Chains A and B, each alone.
Chain A
Amino acid sequence: MNNYDKNNILNLLDSVSPDNADLLETLHIIQEHFGYLSKEALEIVSELLSLSVAHVYGTATYYADFRFVPPPETIIGWCSGPACLLKNGVGIRDAMLAVFGTELGEQLDNPSVEVCMAQCNGTCEQAPQIWVNNKVVGKLTAAKAIELARSIKEDI
């Protein structure tokens, strides 16, 4: 959904108000709907919450969750937690990056994919794991990660 129409955004945000601890919530709502935070959206948020655009932008860029360009089709979240690291998490990460030829957090157009950093959510019995579009792929190994990355690459 990429229709960054002002009314469209305002409809989503009818419950937020200035000075009411609503900024994070507002940004989450927009990102959930559009997949990222566009310039237009940040400006509307600024107006709606009586904050300067710089403040909104500065706040949004502080947090790892927010994106500022349309997301890729496939987001691979790589767990950076200790249980996963102990079980060759780094090897898994680098193997996938080598297949795609990207760096962590770098988005590729073709295939439309990104491997990004993610945090442990306490499902460490599945370690080492990644989340492919939020779906867990657990008990991974470097070889399985390579196969998975290759299948994504070949699927385009």
Chain B
Amino acid sequence: MQQDYYTLRAQADIEYSIWSQPEKPRIDFAYDTSSIASGTEEIMNKLNEKLINENHQIETGVVAGYGLQYLNPLVQITFTDGTTVLYGPVTSDNIDDLINEALGNNRNPLDITIGMLHGNRNDIPTIDKHSFLQLEEERRLTRNLGFIDPDLINHYIARDGYLAVNSIFEKKLTDEEIRKEISDSGLAGRGGAFFPTGVKWGFLSSASTEDKYLVCNADEGDPGSWVNRILMEGDPHSIIEGMIIGALGTFANKGYIYIRSEYPLAISRMQKAIDDAYSLGILGQNILRSNFSFDLRIIKGAGAYVCGEETGLIASIQDSRGMPRIKPPFPANSGVFFNPTNVNNVESFASIPMIMRNGSNWYKEYGVESISGTKLFSISGDVKKAGIMELPWGVKITDVLETCGGISNNKPFKALQAGGPLAGYLPSSIAGTLELEPNQFKEHGALVGSGGLVFISDSACSIQLNLLFSQFVEDESCGRCTTCHGGNQRMTEIFRRISRGNGRIEDKANLDIIGNTLLYSNCVHGQASPTIMKNTVSHFADDYEDCVINKKCSGDVCSCPGLTKLIIVDQFDKKLDEAMNICPTGMIKKINGKYTINMKDCIRCGACIELAPEAIKKVSDGTTQEMPEFIPRIFSENHKSLTPHSVLIEPSSITTNVLVRGEKSLSGMENMTI
């Protein structure tokens, strides 16, 4: 028998109030992918062991990290008066401190204290005073980070979770009223294209097939963007609730969340959340005793960037190669298994419950004229402090950089790469004048994209970076369009050649042609793949001319290998022996007491400079340098062939009744026997 919302809520309130004001102090570890990467598990195990051995009256638990990733591993203590304090970076050496802190034995605040999340202690500043959070106005999408155990549905419910779904049932809101609220809020798709979510739902709602699908796009393939992961690991139910409301606003009856395989913790948290929602009657048949039903399941991706493109994603769900196809037909007409489908981003769905709970006007309190609300940004690259911020649209890029402590090693700010490898690459002279707002980026031929902000210092050369991004788009092309797979191969070849010191005057014209040709690709992957190249050619003319014509590369860490060489500036540096020993190619030699570096097989790995920074310098002297054709193969007799194609050389003896998947035009072949 289903329970009604109020019964669930009453149970949840009890559980949550015990958790937020525990009888014994509780130490909660931030447990998410970033925390795990910073070694949280080891500290957690040690602390637990100690608590058991010494029989302390302290509980332990788990929360999601507060977003200050540069201070990982993070720990929270909730005291018996309900005060919660955040600490980090915690090491194994802090275990006794934390135990004493939890027991109230410390006189002074610990030096790893970050701030107070909740409560009223005079000696600890509240978290909103923290320097990294100065640009955040209010946590809305991330309001539950640090305030719930993300694995517990009751914590979500106690913080008004699923209230919005219930009030839709109570108020008997129609699909149209739901969509109107979403449209009025101005919510625009957070996957990067900023299409109005309410309008998109309208396309699906008008379809009248038996099965209609709602798909949550959690493929988050843009390197440097991890905002969706934060939501899935930190507040999984907000996404489920958003999808249920989406289903109510479109009459969808089936849902998928397509999560990239690089996010195993997000997958297991979302799975737990779905299972719990089913067991409380929040998913499945007759949700919260209504006559509405919605089924939801997870599809785990398998490592293909273009599966983030909605038609690629749909193909991937229906048992095929995740290759995007030309639109139309749009997913609203023909999507998963050729049924009407709507694809939205994780953050779009996570924004829905709060809009329904608080109204569209409330949502519009933040933002700018062109786009409303708050947005999650993930900040990385050459900055001192990497992490997550939830910002209202319209914040200045320079302010973001300042809040992140500026560029690391106090180098100059050279460029901003926002929104993944399709979205653009802007010089500091432009990026420094911009606000986080889609149209401002568009004016300069770039996009804000999905939330990644990678700050770049002048230790990187634009040409070398272009090569690396170009390799990414080449690698990730699905191969359907010659313009895209061939064009990106040519683009990569040109950049590789320039980077090896053999740039030619005519490269610019050829890159132009490639850029224009790529526009005739089926999907946005191909169309947008030359964005960074175009930005470079137009905004970084100096870097371009230097590398192509003057054969000089300005990069220091990330530089063109064929335009740089290593020289020994101090023969008497004691560290040169170490450098000689570390060299993986044996290119540093000591002959008659004199050190030499042979550039011919030097792979520019930089290990020697790292160990003898005063003695070995990287220089670019305006000439093309010798360099190896490939990574020198030292033990090459030892290799195992990797071609997968040898697996199925023998003819298969199997006869199956084949369901042909893929494009609708093949549907005449649906039942062939081969």
* Complex contacts, A18 vs chain B, CB 8 Å: 659
- By the criterion CB–CB under 8 Å, are B654 and A53 in contact? yes
The answer to whether the Cβ of B465 comes within 8 Å of any Cβ in the partner chain is yes
Interface string of B454-471 (1 = CB under 8 A from A): 101101100001001100
* Complex contacts, A125 vs chain B, CB 8 Å: 34, 38, 69-70, 72, 380, 386-387
Q: Check A122/B631 contact, CB under 8 A, given A53-B652, A110-B638.
A: no
The answer to whether the Cβ of B591 comes within 8 Å of any Cβ in the partner chain is no
* Complex contacts, A59 vs chain B, CB 8 Å: 319-321
Number of B positions contacting A (CB below 8 A) = 92
* Complex contacts, A95 vs chain B, CB 8 Å: 584, 603, 605, 607
The answer to whether the Cβ of A76 comes within 8 Å of any Cβ in the partner chain is no
- Of the residues B321, B460, B658, contact of A86 by C-beta under 8 Å: B460
- By the criterion CB–CB under 8 Å, are A21 and B642 in contact? no
What is the chain B residue whose CB lies nearest that of A97? B631
Q: Which of A39, A106, A108, A119 has the most CB of B within 10 A?
A: A119
The answer to whether the Cβ of B412 comes within 8 Å of any Cβ in the partner chain is no
**Residues 101-126 (chain A) with a chain B CB within 8 angstroms:** 101-103, 105-110, 117-126
What is the chain B residue whose CB lies nearest that of A96? B584
**Residues 578-629 (chain B) with a chain A CB within 8 angstroms:** 582, 584-585, 603-607, 610-611
Chain A interface size, as a band, is 35 or more
* Complex contacts, B302 vs chain A, CB 8 Å: 24, 27-28, 63-66
- By the criterion CB–CB under 8 Å, are A55 and B316 in contact? no
- By the criterion CB–CB under 8 Å, are B636 and A51 in contact? no
The distance in angstroms between the C-alpha atoms of A129 and B558, with both chains bound, is: 16
Q: How far in angstroms is the closest Cβ of chain A from B415?
A: 10
- By the criterion CB–CB under 8 Å, are B229 and A146 in contact? no
* Complex contacts, A65 vs chain B, CB 8 Å: 261, 302-303
* Complex contacts, B122 vs chain A, CB 8 Å: none
Q: Check A47/B584 contact, CB under 8 A, given A92-B605, A122-B33.
A: no
- Of the residues A50, A86, A124, contact of B659 by C-beta under 8 Å: A50
Q: Check A102/B223 contact, CB under 8 A, given A25-B299, A125-B69.
A: no
- By the criterion CB–CB under 8 Å, are A55 and B456 in contact? no
The answer to whether the Cβ of B336 comes within 8 Å of any Cβ in the partner chain is yes
- By the criterion CB–CB under 8 Å, are A101 and B319 in contact? no
Q: How far in angstroms is the closest Cβ of chain B from A70?
A: 10
* Complex contacts, B323 vs chain A, CB 8 Å: 62
- By the criterion CB–CB under 8 Å, are B303 and A119 in contact? yes
Interface string of B249-264 (1 = CB under 8 A from A): 0000000100011110
- Of the residues B337, B656, B661, contact of A46 by C-beta under 8 Å: B656
* Complex contacts, A66 vs chain B, CB 8 Å: 302
**Residues 57-90 (chain A) with a chain B CB within 8 angstroms:** 57-59, 61-69, 80-83, 85-88, 90
What is the chain A residue whose CB lies nearest that of B228? A122
**Residues 10-62 (chain A) with a chain B CB within 8 angstroms:** 18-19, 21-25, 27-28, 38-39, 42-43, 46-47, 49-53, 55, 57-59, 61-62
**Residues 547-587 (chain B) with a chain A CB within 8 angstroms:** 557-558, 582, 584-585
* Complex contacts, A121 vs chain B, CB 8 Å: 33, 226, 229, 262-263
- A contacts, CB < 8 Å to B: 18-19, 21-25, 27-28, 38-39, 42-43, 46-47, 49-53, 55, 57-59, 61-69, 80-83, 85-88, 90-92, 94-95, 97-103, 105-110, 117-127, 129, 136, 138, 141-143, 145-147, 149
Task: List 23 interface pairs A-B (beta carbons < 8 Å), by A numbering.
Answer: A21-B317, A23-B319, A43-B652, A49-B319, A55-B658, A59-B319, A81-B224, A83-B381, A85-B558, A86-B382, A86-B454, A94-B603, A94-B631, A98-B632, A120-B223, A121-B262, A122-B225, A125-B70, A129-B37, A142-B605, A142-B610, A143-B582, A147-B582
